[in-house]
């Protein structure tokens, strides 16, 4: 699963388009800096979050703060 820091998100949607499971979507509401921040949905359109971490690596703003996986 993904922990998001919505107050620094600039709604660039790079994570949205990179997520193979489509777990991420821009929110309807606005954050403090005036952008639509991204929201995490564990059960995505194409499947559940696999903690692949691609969103973490493409985010330019550290809005994807943590990627957590089930304990090994």
Partner 1 sequence: MTTLQDKATGGYEVKLGRLPTLTGKPTHYCAGCEHGVLTRLIANAIEELGMREKTVLVDSVGCSVLAHDYINTDAIQSPHGRAPAIMTGIKKVRPDLLVFAVQGDGDAVAIGLLELIYAASRGEPITVFLVNNAIYGMTGGQMAPTTPAGMVTTTTPRGRDLKDTGPVMDATKLLSGLEGPSYVKRVFLPVTPIGSTDLYSARGSLEGAKSVLNAFKVQLMGGFSFVEFVSTCSVNWKMSILESKRYSSEVLAKLFPPGLYVDKMGVEKK
Contact set with partner 1 (CB under 8 A): 1, 7-8, 10-14, 17-18, 20, 33, 35, 51, 53-54, 56-62, 65-72
Q: Length of the chain, please?
A: 72
Closest to partner 1 by CB, 43 vs 68, is: 68
Strand partners, 3: 66
Shortest separation between residue 50's beta carbon and partner 1, angstroms: 11
Q: Residue 64 region, left (φ>0) first, then alpha (ψ -120 to 50), else beta?
A: beta
User: Min. distance of Cβ 59 from partner 1 in angstroms?
Assistant: 7
């Amino acid at each position: 699963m993904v922990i998001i820091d919505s107050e620094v998100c600039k709604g660039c949607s790079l994570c949205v388009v990179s997520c193979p499971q489509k777990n991420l979507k821009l929110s309807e509401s606005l954050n403090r800096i005036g952008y639509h921040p991204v929201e995490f949905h564990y059960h995505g359109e194409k499947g559940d979050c696999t903690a692949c971490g691609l969103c973490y690596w493409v985010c330019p703003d550290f809005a994807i703060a943590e990627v957590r996986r089930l304990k090994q």
